[in-house]
């Protein structure tokens, strides 16, 4: 379980995040939506200890993330291309992440082979540095790397952005397959309401840093979200 308690983040006098309480059970596919500046990325950055909270805490599987690094052993994430190592090829990067996750070469090769269709023959074997790939292909590499090593928690910030429609559909299928394993908690932020309602069983709406809606996904959820954001 991921537990958030009395969490806030301020820059000077400006408060960008204020969540009194939020619990995400183990195995839940969790979506975070909101307009620009709502606090989605800030929340993920605090969860990954990239940003320290002004008050409160996030506890992931009984580990307070800003007090111990043990959560890194079971957490995979991709926020943006800064997570990549630009001077490596995709194969070198996967080898690097796999080694960190305790995977041997054969494990890595077998794992990456699952994503041949997702990569669309644009990444593996191209001898290109990650920095020279398109934004969409960089994102593909980052997303797949986040899933390496059987993580308990996978965090993806705007995973559908910069992907073409075919790849978005393939990614949704990958996420749905991942969330079939009820031992894995998947957290996704997205501006695309359609995609997030299709892959997440629960959706939280942030507005100016505040939690304003907490919805169990149903056939009416997309209409409810569209109605909220059209006001």
**pLDDT tens digit sequence for 162-174:** 999 999 999 999 9
Does 33 map to a domain? yes
User: The CATH number of the domain where 12 resides is what?
Assistant: 3.40.50.300
- Give the model's pLDDT for residue 151: 95
93: Cβ–Cβ under 8 A, 6 or more apart, which residues?
A: 84, 85, 130, 141, 145
- The parent domain of residue 75 ranges over 2-83+148-230
- Give the model's pLDDT for residue 55: 96
Residues 123, 63: Cα–Cα separation, whole Å: 36
- pLDDT tens readout for residues 182-214: 899 999 999 999 999 999 999 999 999 999 999
- Give the model's pLDDT for residue 231: 76
List, in sequence order, every beta strand (DSSP E) within the chain.
Answer: 2-11, 14-24, 29-33, 55-60, 63-64, 75-78, 153-157, 185-189, 202-207, 210-216
How many domains, the chain? 1
Does 162 map to a domain? yes
pLDDT at 180 over 90: no
Cα distance from N-terminal residue to C-terminal residue, the chain: 34
Residues 112, 171: Cα–Cα separation, whole Å: 14
Radius of gyration of the CA atoms of the chain, in A: 17
Q: What percentage of the chain exceeds 70 in pLDDT?
A: 100
Does 114 map to a domain? no
Does 8 map to a domain? yes
Does 140 map to a domain? no
Does 131 map to a domain? no
> How does the average pLDDT of the chain come out, rounded?
95
């Amino acid at each position: 379980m991921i537990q958030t308690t009395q969490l806030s983040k301020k820059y000077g006098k400006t408060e960008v995040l204020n969540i009194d309480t939020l619990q995400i059970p183990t195995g839940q596919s969790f979506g975070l939506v909101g307009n620009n500046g709502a606090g989605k990325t800030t929340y993920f950055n605090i969860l990954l200890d990239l940003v320290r909270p002004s008050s409160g805490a996030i506890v992931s599987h009984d580990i307070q993330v800003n007090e111990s690094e043990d959560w890194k052993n079971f957490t995979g994430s991709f926020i943006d291309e800064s997570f990549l190592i630009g001077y490596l090829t995709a194969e070198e990067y996967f080898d690097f992440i796999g080694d960190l996750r305790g995977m041997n070469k054969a494990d890595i090769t077998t794992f990456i082979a699952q994503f041949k269709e997702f990569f669309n023959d644009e990444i593996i074997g191209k001898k290109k540095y990650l920095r020279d790939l398109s934004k969409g292909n960089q994102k593909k590499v980052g997303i797949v790397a986040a899933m390496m090593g059987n993580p308990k928690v996978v965090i993806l910030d705007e995973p559908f952005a910069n992907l073409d429609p075919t790849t978005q559909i393939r990614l949704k299928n990958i996420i749905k397959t991942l969330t079939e394993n009820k031992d894995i908690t998947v957290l996704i932020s997205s501006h695309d309401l359609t995609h997030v309602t299709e892959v997440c069983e629960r959706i939280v709406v942030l507005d100016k840093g505040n939690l304003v809606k907490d919805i169990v996904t149903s056939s009416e959820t997309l209409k409810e979200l569209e109605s909220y954001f059209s006001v």
